[in-house]
Chains A and B, each alone.
Chain A
Amino acid sequence: MQDFLEFRSISKGYPGVQALSNVSFSVKKGAVHGLMGENGAGKSTLIRVLSGDQSADTGEILIDGEQQHYRSVRDAFHAGVIVIHQELQLVPELTVAENLWLGRFPGKAGVIDRQQLTGVVSQKLAEIGIDVDPTVKVASLSIGERQMVEIAKAVMLDARVIALDEPTSSLSSRESEILFALIDRLRANGTVILYVSHRLDEIFRLCDSLTVLRDGKLAAHHPDISKVTRDQIISEMVGREIANIWGWRERSLGEERLRVENISGPKLRQPLSFSVRRGEILGFFGLIGAGRSEMARLVYGADARTGGSVSVDGVTITADSPPHSIRSGIVLCPEDRKFDGIVQGRSIEENMTISSRRHFSPFGLINPKKEGALADKFIAKLRVRTPSRRQDIINLSGGNQQKVILGRWLSEEGVKVLVIDEPTRGIDVGAKSEIYEILYELAADGMAIVVISSELPEVMGIADRIMVMCEGRVAADIPRAEFDERRILAAALPDVQNLNTLPHAQVR
Chain B
Amino acid sequence: MTSLKKLLLGEQGLVVIFALAFLVVSLTVPNFLTERNMLGLLQSVVTIGIVACTMMFCLASRDFDLSVGSTVAFSGMVAVMASNATGSILLGLVAALICGGLVGTVNGVVIARFRINALITTLATMQIVRGLALIASDGRAVGINDPSFYQLALSRFLGIPTPIWVMALFFVAFGFLLNRTVFGKNTLAIGGNPEASRLAGVDVARMRIWIFALQGLVCAVAGVLLASRITSGQPNAATGLELSVISACVLGGVSLAGGRAAMTGVIVGVLIMGIAENVMNLLNIQAFYQYVVRGLILLLAVLLDNLRSSAAGRRA
List chain A positions with a Cβ less than 8 A from chain B.
Answer: 300, 302, 322-323, 326, 332, 334, 339-346, 350, 354-355, 357-358, 361, 364-366, 368, 392, 394-395, 408
Contact = CB atoms under 8 A, between A and B. Distances in A.
22 contacts: A323-B201, A323-B203, A326-B201, A340-B195, A340-B199, A341-B196, A341-B199, A343-B189, A344-B259, A345-B260, A345-B312, A346-B188, A346-B189, A346-B259, A354-B202, A357-B185, A361-B181, A365-B180, A366-B182, A366-B185, A395-B316, A408-B200
* Most B Cβ at <10 Å: residue of A340, A343, A361: A343
A368 B180 contact: yes
Most interface-central of B181, B185, B196, B316 (chain A CB within 10 A) = B196
Interface string B276-291: 0000000000000000
B140 interface: no
B198 interface: yes
Interface string B179-191: 0111101101100
Contacts of B200: 322, 343, 354-355, 408
Interchain residue pairs A-B with the least CB separation, the first 10: A343-B192, A345-B259, A355-B201, A343-B193, A364-B182, A326-B201, A394-B316, A354-B200, A323-B201, A345-B192
Given A340-B199, A345-B259, A361 B192 contact: no
Nearest to B176: A365
Interface residues of B, number: 25
Given A334-B199, A343-B192, A354-B201, 5 more contacts: A340-B195, A343-B259, A357-B185, A364-B181, A366-B182
Nearest to B202: A354
Contact of B195 (A323, A339, A365): A339
Contacts of A343: 189, 192-193, 196-197, 200, 259
A354 B189 contact: yes
Nearest to B189: A343
Contacts of A392: 312, 316
Contacts of A368: 180
B195 to A, nearest CB: 5
A357 B182 contact: yes
Contacts of B203: 323
Contacts of B180: 365-366, 368
Nearest to A337: B196
Contacts of B185: 350, 354, 357, 366
Contacts of B197: 343, 354
A368 to B, nearest CB: 7
A484 B34 CA distance: 85
Contact of B196 (A340, A357, A364, A366): A340
